Amino acid sequence: MRYSSVAIPLALAARAAAVESDVWAFGNGFYTGPPTNAHITRATWSLVPPDVPSNYTVNNTDDEVWVSLWIGLSSTAGDYDADLYQPLLNWSPDNQSQGCPAPDDEWCVAASTYTPDGQNGQAYVTVPADTQVDFEVYVENDKVYQVVTMNGKTVSKESDALDNPLLYLYSGDECYTGSGDCGTLQSYSWNNLTIHLSAADENFGDTLSLYSGSSSNGLTTSDKGKTWHTDAIKISKDTFATVSDY
């Protein structure tokens, strides 16, 4: 089945509007949640990063563009007041502006959490081209743990207090336009996504919403609704909106 919806999650629109003087663009993506009478206790997924964006523009090197790809978990669908546990990939034509040690044609990755008081993030680690990155986010004793792995080795991890039970999981193709625009991002795929719930919800799969250019066979369960899985959610090639589109 192919799900689709035109709406960008409130979340992202709110985040975009919250920073008045800067312009943010969000590309293709998906979200899922909330479960009925349950919360998310664990999620795992993988990604082989696409090529870094092409045809981007930077008009002033003091105001660089950057692009971030992530799946995050939160108690809300993007409320600015809620924490978002979002291990993320980041790329900028000026790696130094982001504290990313990767060369310009590779991404960095780090465990990271958005909080209303700012971003708690770990140091960026280079993702060598064509390398699979594995992500795990889980809740234990009111803490949220993020573990980022490459080739079986943990490369970044973080734990933060859980602000509220996790009800939503959603992706972001996030572009900070800086003094230019983010150009074109090639297609890629969030793979092997598994979501564990605290209690069975046989209808959780129906909450998957794919907006603009994303597609998937959908979430399926083999234990009557406690655990949900999809092999892939494909995010199609996308040219980010430019400043003049706003």
Ligand X SMILES: *[C@@H]1O[C@H](CO)[C@@H](O)[C@H](O)[C@H]1NC(C)=O
**Residue 26 Cα distances to 81, 220, 223, angstroms:** 19, 27, 34
Rounded least distance, CB 228 to ligand X, Å: 13
Does 126 participate in binding ligand X (rule CB under 6 A)?
A: no
**Segment 186 to 225, residues that bind ligand X, using CB under 6 A:** 192, 194
**Residue 145 Cα distances to 30, 109, 139, 172, 196, angstroms:** 22, 16, 6, 20, 14
Q: Walk across the sheet containing 133-140 and list its strands.
A: 153-161, 143-150, 133-140, 40-47, 188-197, 227-235, 214-216
Does 116 participate in binding ligand X (rule CB under 6 A)?
A: no
Name the 3-class secondary structure at 204. Answer: helix
Does 120 participate in binding ligand X (rule CB under 6 A)?
A: no
Closer residue to ligand X, CB minimum distance, 117 or 152: 152
The 142-181 site mask, x for binding ligand X (CB under 6 A), equals -------------------------------------xx-
**Segment 18 to 37, residues that bind ligand X, using CB under 6 A:** none
Does 96 participate in binding ligand X (rule CB under 6 A)?
A: yes
Does 41 participate in binding ligand X (rule CB under 6 A)?
A: no
Task: Pick one of 22, 81, 104, 245: the residue that binds ligand X (CB under 6 A).
Answer: 104
Rounded least distance, CB 118 to ligand X, Å: 21
Closer residue to ligand X, CB minimum distance, 60 or 203: 60
Q: Which of 20, 76, 28 is nearest to 174 (CA)?
A: 28
**Binding interface with ligand X (CB under 6 A):** 44, 46, 54-55, 57, 59, 95-96, 101, 103-104, 179-180, 184, 192, 194, 243
